[in-house]
Structure 1
């Protein structure tokens, strides 16, 4: 193998392994902590299912394609692999859309949220999303509707002497599938995100008007930023990062796929790069949770301490050092204040 092939193998293998492990950790965290078994986290678990399947069923064969330069698996698996590729990418963005809708209900109707979004309704919504993803992938691809002018995917040697598995779609299918499974859900997720952001700001301003008189009497700062920020950050940052990450990672592929279906003028390496950029979204999602969601962060820390007991000693030691530093700073400050008083007297 050339150095470039070795580097590509290592990078893509790391992406596959890290995506699988990080999303499995989401399952472990939800199974370990009863506090994480909420209706909202049902959508996160569903997103992790899509990401795990994408990392194993889709990304591993895609890695083999890049390493060997041709299709090395069974011919019959080619159409199945291509169908899973489209289905899981569609399911991922539809789950992001469902997360946005769930957060929208929680912010717009906080008192009625538990009645509106029950576990049964959440599972029903997820079932509909997965059915849409299946109907937009397996049905047209296995029947050849994705491109009637191109031979079946089973004919793996239509371009080179070596076996190839290429999903070449027609422009109508690229527009229809891209609009239904990627573009429309992204637009809905963005609209819901901005609705959530506006509602969070409105509620923060309402709370500010209620507590402002008491703050004035107490002589405290009542600037809009100091009062509004805690409310808006908790309600919008996590959702904004999830939606933003999906837009950044999948929009280039959406545009490139439509352009390539229209003119067949996109360089293969560029097209493949945008495909893998979209795959990387499945790695980003489980990283967002511990960074921005306190409940997941606490459970991850507990699991880390269980797996690595030695970290408990380091954590305890750091707390002792921090406590000593605080006590030392307090003593020094107290001594300096006494010195100032004695000098002034």
Structure 2
């Protein structure tokens, strides 16, 4: 069993050795690369090797899951003309951001199993952090773009769908959005990328105690977390409001015509559109929070709070949550799409993703509610 005291700071008797003779983090980093390791981490004893092995195993499993999920999304989209709609391009763009996150995972596996520090030193750290920066910020703003697309589809059912040109412009905008706070630390224009936690992952510097770092952390918090979160909440709030208004209009019209419902083949056991839309919105919101909140909390504590609370173990949590969410994304956004799921089931029956065709529960029923939900799900 691992001694949990390994993750709390101890007074150092030597530069790389604790008062009880155990090595400290950074012991295996030569002097010329010591700038990669903030002094905060050099006051902690090295974690037990089984923590490194455990993380390497977790990341290996995430690599397999992400490769399968995002690979299926890109494969089906590239080979199935019927689902290559403008709205579904956002799903593919999300998969591309998740693939970037996937590309950095093998680096952590190698770092954990063989080096217990960043392979490639500054260059390796910069590559790892830049991939994570682009993938994380890109996924966040792409989620906001998906929310905007679905809001437009519901609020303007006649001419609300975005054209292919508009979608391409928004997708290009998501990639441009990631550049400022990736290039500035990468090129040392503002802040820098450094090792963190077990020294097997890298991120932007949030521990240097100066005004410049605090302003940078505040700006990247607003840019990559607060603003996309505001957009997601705003668009989905208005989307749910539009669905409720639509349902109310149908009920009022049915009452005027003295009929029970305007919806043909209505299934009384089916969930109402507003509940189904609320579930989609809450799922998207929950995934965004799971992905970014740990990083946001750690960065804000490092810049403005009590840094003693940041142990190597606690700062590894954001890295894991971000990767887990990148594995879940393709299944939530794409595999749950009725047509997409049907296509996957046709080609990969062993995944058992077939439609629920029990009486009254087909996704292709021609009710007004299902058409509304279909629009929200960005079905073609």
Q: Which has the larger radius of gyration?
A: 1
CA RMSD of aligned residues (A): 3.4
Cα distance in 1 between the residues matched to 2:200 and 2:132: 19
SS in 2 for 1:44: helix
Q: Is the 8 A contact 1:50 1:92 kept in 2?
A: yes
Match of 1:27 among 64, 71, 74: 74
Could you say if the C-alpha distance between residues 233 and 32 of structure 1 is closer, same or farther in structure 2, counting changes exceeding 3 Å?
farther
Gaps in structure 2 of 5+ consecutive residues: 1-47, 207-212, 359-380
Aligned to 1:329: none
CA displacement, residues 261-301 of structure 1 (integer Å, 9 cap, x when unaligned): 23433112111112211221111111213663212211111
The separation in 2 between residues aligned to 1:77 and 1:208, in whole angstroms, is: 60
- Pick aligned residue for 1:81 from 128, 131, 156: 128
Q: Does 1:294 align with 2:338?
A: yes
**Pair 1:242 & 2:242 matched:** no
TM-score of the aligned structures, taking structure 2 as reference length:
0.69
Matched, 1:285 2:329: yes
For residues 106 and 240 of structure 1, the distance between their equivalents in structure 2, rounded to whole angstroms, comes to 18
Q: 1:289 to 1:84 in 2, by over 3 A?
A: closer
- Return the TM-score normalized by structure 1: 0.75
Q: Give matches, 1:157-306, under 5 Å.
A: 167-169=204-206, 170-212=213-255, 213-216=257-260, 229-262=271-304, 263-265=306-308, 266-289=310-333, 292-305=336-349
Report how far residue 304 of structure 1 moved: 0.8
Shift of 1:3: 5.0
Maintained 8 Å contact 1:107/1:235 = no
Any idea what the Cα deviations from partners look like across 1:85-107, whole Å, max 9, x if unmatched?
21211001010010001011011
CA distance in 2, matches of 1:291, 1:17: 17
Question: 2:297, 2:167 → 1: CA distance?
Answer: 31
Alpha carbons of structure 1 residues 40 and 236: separation in structure 2 relative to 1, 3 Å: farther
The answer to whether residue 139 in structure 2 is matched with residue 97 in structure 1 is: no
Query: Which position in structure 2 is the counterpart of 1:142?
Result: 187
Q: Is the 8 A contact 1:20 1:51 kept in 2?
A: no
CA contact (8 A) 1:238 1:292 kept: no
Kept in 2, the 8 Å contact 1:90–1:181? The answer is yes
Structure 2 vs 1, CA of residues 135 and 2 (structure 1 numbering), >3 Å: closer, same or farther? closer
Q: d(CA) in 1 for partners of 2:108 and 2:289?
A: 22
Q: CA-to-partner distance for each residue in 1:147-171, whole Å, 9 max, x for gaps?
A: 5xxxx85xx8x999x9995642322
Structure 2 residue corresponding to 1:127, chosen from 172, 179, 182: 172
Number of residue pairs matched by the alignment: 296
Instruction: Note if contact 1:87-1:134 (Cα within 8 Å) is conserved in structure 2.
Output: yes
Describe the SS at the equivalent of 1:30.
Answer: helix
Mapped to 1, the partners of 2:311 and 2:218 lie a distance apart of 20
Q: Which residue is 1:325 aligned to?
A: none
**Which whole-Å deviations, capped at 9, do the CAs of 1:158-213 have from their partners, x for residues lacking one?**
999x9995642322111101111122101210121111111111101111222345
Pair 1:12-2:55 in alignment: no
Does the 8 Å contact 2:111/2:117 carry over to 1?
A: yes
Q: 2:83 aligns with which of 25, 33, 36?
A: 36
Contact 2:97–2:139 at 8 Å: present in 1 too?
A: yes
Q: Partners in 1 of 2:200 and 2:273 — Cα distance?
A: 56
1:22–1:217 distance in 2 versus 1, CA, 3 Å: closer
Runs of 5+ in structure 1 lacking a partner?
Answer: 323-345
Alignment of 1:301-320 (within 5 A): 301-305=345-349
Maintained 8 Å contact 1:97/1:188: yes
Q: 2 CA distance for matches of 1:250 and 1:109?
A: 31
**Deviation of the 1:216 alpha carbon:** 4.4
Question: Does the Cα contact within 8 Å between 1:208 and 1:228 map onto a contact in 2?
Answer: no
